[in-house]
Amino acid sequence: MKLYDLRVNHLCNPLGYEMRKTTFSWKIKEALGKRQAAARIRIGEKENLDAGNLLADTGFLENLSSVASTIDVPLMPCKRYFWDVTVQTELGEEATSNVQWFETGKMDKEWNAEWISCDSRQKRHPIFQKKIDLKGSVKKARLYICGLGLYEAFYGDERIGEEYLTPYCNDYNEWIQYQTYDVTEMLRKDGILSVLLGNGWYKGRFGFDNPSESGYYGNEWKLKAELDIEYEDGSEDIIGTDESWRVKRSKLIFSEIYDGEHRDDTLPEVPVEAAVICEQPKGKLTARYSTPVTVHEQLKPTKLVLTPRGETVLDLGQEFTGIFSLRVKEPKGTKIHIQTGEILQNDNFYRDNLRTAKSEYIYISDGKEKVIYPHFTFYGYRYVKIEGMTHLKKEDFTGLALYSEIPETGNIETRNPLVNQLISNIRWGMKSNFLDVPTDCPQRDERMGWTGDAQIFSAAATYLADTYSFYKKYLYDMACEQKVRDGKVPQVIPNFGKEGTSSVWGDAACIIPWNLYLFYGDQAILEEQFDSMRSWVDYIHRMDQENHCWREEFHYGDWLALDHPTGGENGFMGGTDERFIADVSYAVSAGIVKKAAHILGRKREETEYEAIEKSQYDWIKKEYYTQTGKCCIRTQTAQLLTLKYHLSENEDEARKMLRILLDESDGKLKTGFVGTPLLCKVLSENEMDDLAYELFLNEEFPGWLNEVKLGATTIWERWNSLDENGCISGTQMNSLNHYAAGAVAEWIFRYVVGINMDETDFSAAGFRKMSFTPRLKQSLGYAKGSYESAMGRYSCAWEFQDDTHVKISVSVPFGANARLILPEAGESVFNDKKNPMFRDVKDGVCYLTAGEYTVEYSVEKKTAAYDIDTSMRKLLEHVAVREFIGSLIPLETLPKEFMPISFRKLAVQFGSAEDEQLEQINEVLKTFR
């Protein structure tokens, strides 16, 4: 038996993170036992966790949760703590983890450093420097540092740490992060500590509201750093930023997030300046929340293209976010101009959809051979146009994908290559938009933390990767921004002047923490965010007043849906009344606050928000539904909301209406930001997998696979971002790397692969319990996937051996319990009592504990795919069925509006068909698959 994924506050051996409390978690694999009988955590100040050295020892406890166990440790600043965990199983096995550690940041300890600055009007970016003279052999050295806008630190020629774009992006008016680096190994000899500063989000052009050169948060370069050295002889040295630091001017003369970077290596050295003490920035200096942004994939160009226009373009084969490295060896004074783009148009380089973002890099060579990379910008790109290089070889260029630490947790594969490519596109969409902030897109003059996009995609993202710490930082920022806005959640976090809000967008404050709780089972996130969640609902409550005024505000609604009466395919708003969406989201958020209050044992708030939730649902039913439960809004999204939140007493009506609406739209989706994430999920939850698969596997416009067929390598902002000829459909708002529609990955995990999180039973949170609910689709051949949950790894795979035989395998991690609902299985399947899968079966559901299980059986279709009650649209889509129907009635003259109507109704109405005749036709139709 092995212990793995040992974490403190969901982080592996964290150094210098903000730590309000210490919550431990671990996972177990390769055990003979099936569950943890007891566990013991020991915490100490020394790596040797012997009895005499301990700060805490829980002893063996039966209820120490592997998913989250909070243990109070009195924490001191700048100190490393060690811990381990020992687990016993019900069979008496025992294993102890390797010793782990966590180290605090400065906490409330005074800084021995000042904020320093320099002449910030100069173009040449500053390098702040300090000569370090060591007084002996170094035992331990830490650098605590924050530089604004952005910084990169070096000791001698060596870069300190592997992170980019530090100190990261947040609401700098409220808080500013410093990072902690272990520099012990670097300080083997005297050297120069240098810090290069750039403009970034703090002092550069960013957001819609400061197109000028002045920054949204500040205009001055600022640095605060403290190097704490502990020598072997026990003496200490602290070197902090002050007036003794010198300022050298670098060769960087321009850096902007949107516009790129300019570097001129021909610039002469200029005399050094003295650093000046400056005013501290507005926000509170806080230990880091952001997980490291580092280089992950290194992409080599797949092609060097000479375009019809004569441009030299490299194709990296994959759209991603990051920077690049380029080997240059050009004569002195050569100007190299690099621009990035997402796509070629008419085989030429194209970048108009980036709007005002210049997204470029300009380099002037000093004649020496070197490898250059941008420091303080990033690009969302696949294609690079390079001008000015005489001997460019594609090997000289490497794309460097930058994103936050989000370890991969979920995998899916099927026999359909288009589906596999889609999953890859969704994953790249996530990576591209998880650069410290969950952004809408990474390329144009936006790249902002739009709350709506973030919440829509959060469940899908959390299946694909461990997102806990990434979202925790975003949510902390959100809470800070709400505090100064009376609970209002601005539509963009960090805000950058986008003060407006909207339902669905602001509801991120409730939905994301709730998703994190469901996935990770740690109520710490609810404790931390409770005030934020509640204050958002309180804000709506105040806006709503007595007369339901909240819905009368501006709301984005079903953004980018295709069914707006005037908007159409290139419009913005959807066809579902935004007021209805606003009212529903309000109820949903109130319900989440109620549930969170319940989990946190806050009875008073539970009652309070339950009352809001109930009165809101009562109002919705009265306002938008007929007395018999029919939704007054005739759109796909309205029916999806009806079913998802059980808004009608008559759900059959909503199901029927959904079928009619899909038949009317030729079986194609019309949904936007609200409907798309729900679409397949709600259909599967309502036993309408036929439609879910039909929409999902549709290769025509609009649909997920349509994008794949048109060559997408990430997810597009619009269903028609490119038309069928591969031409960009518009430039106003058209990104090829917007993850929102990738929310469908949640459905793929839950119902295609069948690893389905339980949302109703709170004791299941953290995947302690879940359900396997795979839904078979013959044309997919097989689907297999796994999810590395907070409990360990679940997997599920199904494969058709031939037309009727299916093999299903699942695995359940140590300590977990799962229900398995075998798809299309007849009763006889369960009789095989020798198969451990069937040891505990109730009402056709297999109850499983940790282990691996497999079964093979012959599927039993409960209902035929086609019969006389199937809509004409569906019947006519099947080639053979169409032929058969065509032999009965003339199809050429059939009006399009008749498509949602069943064969039976048409046959009775216009063909005066007899019962007996109809029955015969029915039998024939049932034979089609």
Strands (E), 365-396: 370-372, 379-387
Closest separation in Å from C-beta 567 to ligand BGC: 13
CA–CA separation, 634 and 654 (whole Å): 10
Closest separation in Å from C-beta 584 to ligand BGC: 18
Please give the single-letter amino acid code of residue 131: K
Query: Half-sphere exposure of residue 492, counting CA atoms within 13 Å on the CB side?
Result: 21
Closest separation in Å from C-beta 441 to ligand BGC: 6
CB environment 731-757: b (16+ within 10 A), e (fewer): eebbbbbbbbbbbbbbbbbbbbbbbbb
Query: Cis bond leading into 136, ω under 30°?
Result: no
Return the number of other C-beta atoms located less than 10 Å from residue 344's C-beta. Answer: 18
Check: CB of residue 349 under 8 Å from CB of residue 310. no
Closest separation in Å from C-beta 216 to ligand BGC: 17
Nearer to ligand BGC, 150 or 426 (CB): 426
Closest separation in Å from C-beta 556 to ligand BGC: 4
Closest separation in Å from C-beta 728 to ligand BGC: 16
Concatenated DSSP letters of 879-894: HHHHHHHHTTS-STT-
Closest separation in Å from C-beta 744 to ligand BGC: 16
Nearer to ligand BGC, 318 or 503 (CB): 503
Nearer to ligand BGC, 498 or 668 (CB): 498
Nearer to ligand BGC, 441 or 876 (CB): 441
CA–CA separation, 328 and 870 (whole Å): 65
SS3 for 841?
strand
Nearer to ligand BGC, 178 or 559 (CB): 559
Nearer to ligand BGC, 22 or 425 (CB): 425
Nearer to ligand BGC, 8 or 504 (CB): 504
Please give the single-letter amino acid code of residue 461: A
Q: Helix 603-624 vs helix 578-599: angle between axes, to the nearest 10 degrees? A: 160
Closest separation in Å from C-beta 665 to ligand BGC: 23
Closest separation in Å from C-beta 314 to ligand BGC: 27
Cα–Cα nearest to 6, from 43, 54, 50, 52: 43
H helices of 108-262, in order, are: 200-203
Closest separation in Å from C-beta 42 to ligand BGC: 47
Cα–Cα nearest to 282, from 144, 480, 107, 125: 480
Nearer to ligand BGC, 57 or 499 (CB): 499
Cβ-proximal residues to 464 (8 Å cutoff; 6+ apart), any chain: 408, 409, 410, 426, 427, 430, 745
Nearer to ligand BGC, 354 or 389 (CB): 354
Nearer to ligand BGC, 83 or 559 (CB): 559
Return the bridge partners of 314, or none. Answer: 304, 384
Closest separation in Å from C-beta 377 to ligand BGC: 19
Where do contacts with ligand BGC occur on this chain (CB under 6 A)? 440-441, 446, 450, 452-453, 556, 559, 733, 738
Q: Which structure tokens are listed for 6?
A: 């040992």
Cα–Cα nearest to 662, from 648, 677, 675: 675
Nearer to ligand BGC, 499 or 923 (CB): 499
Nearer to ligand BGC, 584 or 806 (CB): 584
Closest separation in Å from C-beta 453 to ligand BGC: 5
Check: CB of residue 129 under 8 Å from CB of residue 161. no
Rounding to the nearest 10 degrees, give the CA dihedral for residues 574, 575, 579, 580.
Answer: -110
With CB atoms as reference, the residue minimizing the distance to ligand BGC is 440
Query: Half-sphere exposure of residue 744, counting CA atoms within 13 Å on the CB side?
Result: 26
Pairing relationship of beta strands 437-438 and 175-182 according to DSSP bridges: unpaired
Closest separation in Å from C-beta 384 to ligand BGC: 23
Nearer to ligand BGC, 255 or 721 (CB): 721
Closest separation in Å from C-beta 573 to ligand BGC: 9
Sign for the CA dihedral angle at 878, 880, 884, 890 comes to positive
Nearer to ligand BGC, 221 or 556 (CB): 556
Separation in Å, CA 772 to CA 402, 519, 798: 34, 15, 11
Nearer to ligand BGC, 505 or 747 (CB): 505
CA–CA separation, 817 and 846 (whole Å): 11
Closest separation in Å from C-beta 515 to ligand BGC: 18
Cα–Cα nearest to 530, from 544, 549, 516: 516
* Residues across the chain: 929
Return the number of other C-beta atoms located less than 10 Å from residue 785's C-beta. Answer: 22
Return the number of other C-beta atoms located less than 10 Å from residue 6's C-beta. Answer: 18
